[in-house]
Amino acid sequence: MSTAVCTTQSLASLPSSTRTASAVPPAVRRGAWQIAPGEAMSLKARSASVLRVKQGRVWVTPDATSASASEDLVLAPGESLNVAAGQRIVMEAWDGYGATYSWDQA
C-alpha cells in the first residue's frame, strides 16, 4: 500500500485503456516507479516513509520543518531519504536519463 499522496498526475488517474500491461513501465511492475527526464513531482508522506533511488539520480527538495530548513539534495542509486509523516518533497530527475525509485513505509 502506498504511503504517499502524489500531487501530479499518477498512473491511477489514467484511463483504464491506457493502463494496460504494455503501457506500464517494467520498473513499475517490479515495485518501483520511474520519473522521466525533465519531469518534477511532489510527494507527501501519509506516514513515515523512505525514498530509495534504484537507478539514475534525483534532485530532491524536502519542505522545511520545525527541526530543519529546506535544502536541495541529490540522491544516487542505492541512496535513500527518510521522509517524516506529513512532510512533502519535490523531486526531479537530475540528468537527461530519468530515474527509477521506490517509496516505502519506514
Which cell numbers hold the place of 26?
Answer: 517494467
Please tell me the distance from the alpha carbon of residue 3 to that of residue 55, in angstroms, as a whole number: 21
End-to-end Cα distance, the chain: 12
Q: Does domain 32-105 have CATH number 1.20.1050.10?
A: no
List CB contacts of 84: < 8 A, sequence separation 6 or more.
Answer: 45, 48, 65
pTM of the predicted model as reported, rounded to 2 decimal places: 0.71
The number of helices, as runs of H, and strands, as runs of E, in the chain is 1, 9
In order along its 106 residues, the chain shows pLDDT tens digits of: 334 444 444 444 444 444 444 455 665 557 789 999 999 999 999 999 999 999 999 999 999 877 778 899 999 999 999 999 999 999 999 988 899 999 999 8
List, in sequence order, every residue forming a beta bridge with 83; answer none if it has no partner: 49
